[in-house]
């Protein structure tokens, strides 16, 4: 999510209507962007938690249950960003914009049904390269 | 038709749009082109078009006309087509549209495809947005794939199974045989996902849980895997900052937690490995801390030995000293959970917690505040209170109300001396006065009346505070009440604790009159000060001045004030002989532990006397009393439950009139705007019954009746008449339960029409056991001075099989003997 509320990518693992989705995005944005560096990376939101991290101009947010381990998902975010970095060779925001369907593939490789699926960066990268060769 | 533009082109063009309107125009043009292209059934460019459509959808524009196209893409043989098609399906389709059912067949075929990537795509889509019908149809396929040797597919199949179980819990058994071999995999990815699957199964069904514990010997297996993870050397694939596969470790720990909860054997088996993980993990990076955090949570939840628990709390203590605020936050949250059980261990870290009060982050401060209140006890009360008061001074307004209430609670429980207590209260009132909750004013007043020897000191300090500053309403209200009560002590200069100040009667009256005219005072405060002035008429000698003030306010615009003034005027004129008796010192109000009818102050049922075992019954009558108003309807006090009632403080002053019975003071309109009259059980009910045995021997002849019988819950009323006052009926309700599950958290509330008065005593328990094994009894007293037909509306709330149930019913079939 960009600082000025441009959603670059959104992946939903629960059913919502379109306008519900839009409202949720706006709420999350409102909550997350007002927090600066001296706040923790976890926010309570409705009956979930949001775990987020800011990389340059983008916020990566994950919404989880209150019982999940915050720190582990923080690591998950970082893992994901590192994979993106490797795949696009020093990724920048424009890469994510122009290749959004590829980014979705990366998401699907690493997360499924709302849980972390694959944690080994090398494995994920290998899969992605194979998928790319099929195109 | 020219070939549609490529995706890149489109994105570039849209990004060059400088305004929203331009962008919208471009998109609409492109949408039209795409629509006509779809109509032409053009296979070659469909993929590109749908990709563009998806991009536009991501920007927020409607794109649902592309749904069918996605399906066509999925059905095609080319991989790129399928990929975009599935992506489109995940983005555009959801359960609520029927179109997604058409996908089921395609997915089924793809699940059996020869290429693993296609199978993977299908699994992915199913796992993300499969509806329950789809899941039911395709569960068999997923289960087959769970058993393949292809680890890529196994991972996806496992998580897909998780989704299926979430949607259709009945299918869980289907996956059971496949899980047997899952844990013997070497592949970390498969291990990880299988652990997730097992976790989900165990969380959903306790039967599964016992099955896994006993038959599968899951715990030893998991322990072994964890051990290998820690012991084994460097594994580049899964390594994160030097720790091998932390995600897997965390997941295993979580599963262990679920397995070990309330189970001694499993917990024992885990003890060693937990200790090992706790001591060996590096804490310098976030990763290590994540694992430690999960370990701590696990230790806390299972039945671990005390040494282990102390270790866990020490780890949390170390977290608190960490520089990273995330970790501190996480530690504070967990400590809050454990402070109930391991109180002493947490005490050791008290000073660090108190330091966290000064942190910059709001969430950390809040957690630290809650934790500090939980840690306060008789020994550290002085020190802690100092810190907390300092915090109160400097914290944000959103905290002040909570902090103030917390301080009051703590002070009341552990105050080392009355003087200290009053000082603390004064401090809170002067610093955070306007944030103090309105309902604490009556509580404070009651506290002050109780500390008899401190009256002079209290009133003196309050007077001085009032001279300084009259803007903080709760402070002003308490102060004016006290001055009204103890004004004579103030003037006579009798204070022992402090240097007595010299105050004349006129000065005191000046101050009180100042309150009446000041712009800062709310109507409630003015009511307090007028009553205080009136009370002083018996204590002071300058009655004429008071008479003048009171008569001026007889024509005030504020109705409340006017009514009081007129009534007081009447007191002077017609009832002067009664005045001294009426305006006497208030008796010491007791904070009754049981459902005491004397307690007017108690009506909001704050958890002040939380140590008393009658706490549920205190909250209950208050709640019931408040709800009664709701049931009766047509009153002008808004939602009342446990929050500040704006008119409540008014009643504290007007209590004088209420407490002393139904003297009909002439000239005054009907009783005050506060319907609290109905809550504050007037004394005539009291008089009849305060020392009465509850069940009288009369009224043998009144037949019992069934008031309510629905959903297996039956409520019967039995009647008695109380002897001295024939207007009072005593009804005992018996609640019984014929279903096979208990009804817990059972609350019975009743409301009667305005001509009656009702009093509910505390119930015998709040669980109605199943199958008529027992019942709950509760006593109701109804006063019926006008001998009208008794009608009642009842409200029942309880929890049945985990779901809350609420019901309202009218009871009209009371036997005539009960109210005649």
Rounded Cα–Cα distance for residues B5 and B3 (Å): 6
Q: What is the CA radius of gyration of chain A?
A: 15
Nearest to B189 among A39, A100, A118 (CB): A118
Contact A101, A8 (CB under 8 A): no
The model's confidence at residue B650, banded by pLDDT at 50, 70 and 90, is very low
The shortest C-alpha distance from B79 to chain A (Å) reads 7
The model's confidence at residue B445, banded by pLDDT at 50, 70 and 90, is confident
pLDDT of residue B317: 80
Q: Quick check: B24 pLDDT over 60? A: yes
Touching check for A132 and chain B: CB below 8 Å? no
| Beta sheet of A58-65, edge-to-edge order | A42-45, A48-55, A58-65
Q: Quick check: B698 pLDDT over 60? A: no
The model's confidence at residue B215, banded by pLDDT at 50, 70 and 90, is low
Domains of chain A and CATH, by start: 18-134 (3.30.450.60)
Secondary structure class of B366 (helix, strand, coil): helix
The model's confidence at residue B646, banded by pLDDT at 50, 70 and 90, is very low
Q: Which of B155-164, B524-533, B573-582, B672-681 has the lowest mean pLDDT?
A: B672-681
Q: Per-residue pLDDT tens for B537-593?
A: 777 777 777 778 777 877 777 788 888 888 888 877 777 777 777 777 776 665 543
Q: DSSP string of B719-778?
A: EEE-SS-TTEEEEEEEEEE-SSS-EEEEEEEEE--TTSEEEE---S-S-B-STTS--EEE
Contact B627, B749 (CB under 8 A): yes
Token duo for residue B754:
């305005």
Please answer yes or no on whether A71 and B247 come within 8 Å at the CB atom: no
Q: Per-residue pLDDT tens for B752-808?
A: 887 787 888 878 777 777 777 777 888 888 877 777 777 788 888 888 877 788 888
The model's confidence at residue A113, banded by pLDDT at 50, 70 and 90, is low
Please answer yes or no on whether B117 and A40 come within 8 Å at the CB atom: no
Quick one: residue A48, left, alpha or beta (phi over 0 = left, psi -120 to 50 = alpha)? beta
**Which class for B63: exposed (0-12), middle (13-18), buried (19 or more C-beta within 10 A)?**
buried
**In this prediction, what percent of chain B has a pLDDT beyond 90?**
0
Touching check for A120 and chain B: CB below 8 Å? yes
Touching check for A7 and chain B: CB below 8 Å? yes
Nearest to A101 among B51, B193, B250 (CB): B51
Rounded Cα–Cα distance for residues B238 and B282 (Å): 16
Interface of A with B in 63-102 (CB under 8 A): 69-72, 74-76, 79, 97-98, 100-101
The interface predicted TM-score (ipTM) is 0.75
Q: Quick check: B72 pLDDT over 50? A: yes
Rounded Cα–Cα distance for residues B555 and B50 (Å): 78
pLDDT of residue B500: 66
Rounded Cα–Cα distance for residues B241 and B258 (Å): 28
The model's confidence at residue B132, banded by pLDDT at 50, 70 and 90, is confident
Q: Quick check: B62 pLDDT over 50? A: yes
pLDDT of residue B495: 62
The model's confidence at residue A7, banded by pLDDT at 50, 70 and 90, is low
Write down the mean pLDDT value for chain B: 71
Element holding B578 (H helix, E strand):
none
Phi, psi of B96 (to 5 degrees): -80, -15
Token duo for residue B778:
């509760």
* Residues of chain B contacting residue A22, judged by C-beta atoms under 8 Å apart: 60
Q: Quick check: B382 pLDDT over 60? A: yes
Please answer yes or no on whether A71 and B326 come within 8 Å at the CB atom: yes
Q: Per-residue pLDDT tens for B282-332?
A: 777 777 787 888 888 877 777 777 788 888 888 888 887 777 777 888 888
Rounded Cα–Cα distance for residues B97 and B88 (Å): 14
Touching check for A115 and chain B: CB below 8 Å? yes
pLDDT of residue A135: 63
Please answer yes or no on whether B290 and A108 come within 8 Å at the CB atom: no
Q: Quick check: B443 pLDDT over 80? A: no
């Amino acid at each position: 999510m960009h600082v000025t509320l441009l959603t670059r990518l959104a992946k939903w693992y629960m059913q919502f209507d379109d306008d519900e989705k839009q409202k949720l995005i706006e709420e999350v944005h409102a909550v997350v962007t007002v927090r600066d560096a001296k706040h923790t990376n976890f926010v309570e939101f409705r009956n979930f938690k949001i775990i987020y991290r800011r990389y340059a101009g983008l916020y990566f947010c994950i919404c989880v249950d209150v019982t999940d381990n915050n720190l582990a998902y923080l690591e998950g975010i970082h893992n994901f960003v590192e994979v993106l970095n490797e795949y696009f060779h020093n990724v920048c925001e424009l890469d994510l914009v122009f290749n959004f369907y590829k980014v979705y593939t990366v998401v699907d490789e690493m997360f499924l049904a709302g849980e972390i699926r694959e944690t080994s960066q090398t494995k994920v990268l290998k899969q992605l390269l194979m998928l790319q060769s099929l195109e | 038709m020219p070939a549609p533009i490529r995706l890149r082109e489109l994105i570039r063009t849209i990004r060059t749009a400088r305004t929203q309107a331009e962008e919208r125009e471009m998109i609409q043009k492109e949408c039209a082109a795409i629509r006509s292209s779809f109509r032409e059934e053009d296979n070659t460019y469909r993929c590109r078009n749908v990709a563009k459509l998806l991009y536009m959808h991501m920007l927020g524009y409607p794109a649902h006309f592309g749904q069918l196209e996605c399906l066509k893409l999925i059905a095609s043989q080319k991989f790129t087509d399928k990929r975009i098609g599935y992506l489109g399906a995940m983005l555009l389709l959801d359960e609520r549209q029927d179109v997604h059912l058409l996908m089921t067949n395609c997915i089924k075929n793809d699940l059996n495809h020869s290429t693993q990537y296609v199978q993977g795509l299908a699994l992915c889509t199913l796992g993300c947005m499969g509806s329950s019908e789809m899941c039911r149809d395709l569960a068999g396929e997923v289960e087959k794939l769970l058993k393949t040797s292809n680890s890529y597919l196994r991972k996806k199949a496992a998580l897909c199974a998780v989704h299926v179980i979430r949607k259709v819990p009945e299918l869980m058994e289907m996956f059971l045989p496949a899980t047997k071999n899952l844990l013997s995999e070497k592949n970390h990815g498969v291990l990880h996902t299988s652990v997730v699957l097992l976790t989900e199964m165990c969380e959903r069904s306790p039967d599964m849980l016992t099955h896994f514990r006993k038959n599968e010997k899951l715990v030893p297996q998991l322990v072994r895997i964890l051990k290998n993870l820690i012991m084994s050397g460097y594994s580049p694939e899964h390594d994160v900052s030097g720790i091998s596969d932390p995600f897997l470790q965390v997941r295993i720990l979580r599963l262990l937690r679920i397995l070990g909860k309330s189970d001694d054997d499993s917990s024992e088996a885990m003890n060693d490995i937990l200790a090992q993980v706790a001591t060996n993990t590096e804490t310098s990076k976030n990763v290590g801390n994540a694992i430690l955090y999960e370990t701590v949570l696990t230790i806390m939840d299972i039945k671990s030995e005390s040494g282990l628990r102390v270790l866990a709390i020490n780890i949390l203590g170390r977290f608190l000293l960490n520089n990273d605020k995330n970790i501190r936050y996480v530690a504070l949250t967990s400590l809050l959970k454990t402070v109930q059980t391991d109180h002493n261990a947490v005490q050791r870290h008290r000073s660090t917690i108190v330091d966290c009060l000064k942190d910059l982050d709001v969430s950390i401060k809040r957690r630290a505040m809650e934790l500090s209140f939980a840690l306060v006890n008789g020994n550290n009360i002085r020190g802690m209170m100092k810190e907390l008061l300092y915090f109160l001074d400097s914290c944000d307004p959103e905290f002040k109300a909570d902090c103030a209430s917390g301080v009051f609670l703590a002070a009341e429980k552990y105050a080392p001396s009355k003087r200290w207590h009053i000082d603390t209260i004064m401090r809170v009132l002067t610093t955070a006065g306007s944030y103090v909750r309105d309902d604490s004013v009556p509580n404070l007043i009651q506290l002050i009346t109780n500390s008899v020897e401190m009256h002079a000191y209290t009133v003196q300090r309050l007077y001085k505070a009032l001279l300084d500053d009259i803007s903080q309403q709760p402070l002003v209200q308490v102060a004016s009440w006290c001055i009204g009560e103890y004004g004579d002590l103030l003037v006579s200069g009798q204070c022992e604790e402090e240097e007595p100040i010299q105050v004349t009667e006129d000065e005191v009256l000046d101050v009180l009159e100042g309150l009446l005219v000041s712009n800062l005072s709310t109507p409630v405060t003015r009511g307090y000060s007028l009553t205080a002035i009136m009370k002083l008429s018996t204590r002071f000698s300058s009655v004429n001045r008071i008479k003048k003030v009171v008569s001026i306010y007889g024509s005030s615009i504020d109705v409340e004030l006017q009514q009081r003034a007129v009534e007081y005027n009447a007191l002077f004129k017609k009832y002067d002989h009664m005045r001294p008796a009426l305006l006497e010192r208030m008796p010491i109000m007791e904070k009754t532990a049981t459902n005491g009818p004397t307690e007017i102050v108690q009506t909001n049922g704050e958890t002040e006397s939380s140590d008393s075992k009658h706490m549920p019954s205190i909250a209950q009558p208050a709640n019931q009393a408040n709800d009664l108003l709701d049931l009766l309807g047509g009153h002008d006090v808004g939602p009342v439950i446990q929050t500040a009632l704006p008119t409540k403080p008014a009643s504290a002053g007007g209590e004088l009139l209420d407490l002393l019975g139904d003297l009909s003071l002439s000239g005054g309109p009907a009783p005050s705007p506060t319907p609290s009259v109905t809550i504050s059980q007037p004394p005539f009910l009291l008089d009849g019954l305060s020392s009465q045995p509850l069940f009288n021997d009369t009224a043998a002849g009144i037949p019992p009746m069934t008031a309510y019988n629905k959903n297996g819950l039956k409520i019967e009323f039995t009647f008695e008449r109380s002897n001295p006052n024939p207007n009072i009926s005593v009804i005992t309700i018996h609640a019984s339960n014929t279903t096979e599950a208990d009804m817990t958290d059972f609350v019975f509330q009743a409301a009667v029409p305005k001509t009656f008065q009702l009093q509910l005593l505390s119930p015998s328990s709040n669980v109605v056991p199943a199958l008529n094994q027992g019942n709950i009894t509760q006593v109701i007293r109804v006063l019926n001075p006008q001998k009208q037909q008794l009608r009642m509306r009842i409200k029942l709330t309880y929890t049945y099989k985990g779901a809350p149930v609420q019901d309202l019913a009218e009871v009209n079939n009371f036997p005539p003997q009960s109210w005649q």
